[in-house]
Amino acid sequence: MSAASSENSLRVSTVSRILFGIIAVLALGGIAVSTVSLLRHYAKSETQFCELGQKFNCDIVNRSEYSSIVGIPVAGIGIAGYAALFVLGSFQRDRVTTPNRLLLASLAGLVFALYLTYVEAYVLETWCILCLISLVFISLITAAAIAVKMTSTRA
């Protein structure tokens, strides 16, 4: 391995490989949940699978004024964010910069998800089960990204 390529590569331990795999799988789950949320955002009909009364209703949340930022659906932002985390966790794991990027991206996603959870709890006063599942996914990804950062070493 040349000096230049060794500066840009990371020695990925077995633990890190497992963590990267976990991150990739969780990111795929996040993409799936965000895709369903995006479909619900644009749907015209009401759904029953996510409605458990006035306090738990994905349609209310996914169609509220808070479901878009400058015209971009929050669920679409979620798909893009989870896709970026998937790429970092699967195809970019040997790069020296990946643990930092992964940690930064997951923390940004977690802060965004916590803001949206605040909106659900205190503004809309209605919970979206899909959003809560997404919050669990990004929380677990962030925990795994912290662990990756702590276990990563240069080659």
CATH code of the domain made up of 12-154: 1.20.1440.130
The pLDDT tens digits for 22-69 are 999 999 999 999 999 999 899 888 777 677 777 898 888 998 999 999
More confident residue, 9 or 109: 109
How is the chain split into domains, by residue range?
Answer: 12-154
Q: What is the dihedral of CA 33, 55, 142, 67, to 10 degrees?
A: 60
Write down the pTM of the prediction: 0.88
More confident residue, 95 or 140: 140
Q: Which of 97, 89, 99, 92 has the alpha carbon at shortest distance from 28?
A: 89
pLDDT of residue 154 exceeding 60: no
Give pLDDT, residue 80. Answer: 98
Q: Which two tokens stand for residue 39?
A: 């479909």
Averaged pLDDT for residues 133-141: 98
The one-letter amino acid code at 25 reads V
Radius of gyration of the CA atoms of the chain, in A: 18
Coil, strand or helix at 17: helix
Give pLDDT, residue 9. Answer: 58
The one-letter amino acid code at 81 reads G
**Contact assessment for residue 19 and residue 12, using Cβ atoms and an 8 Å cutoff:** no
Give pLDDT, residue 10. Answer: 58
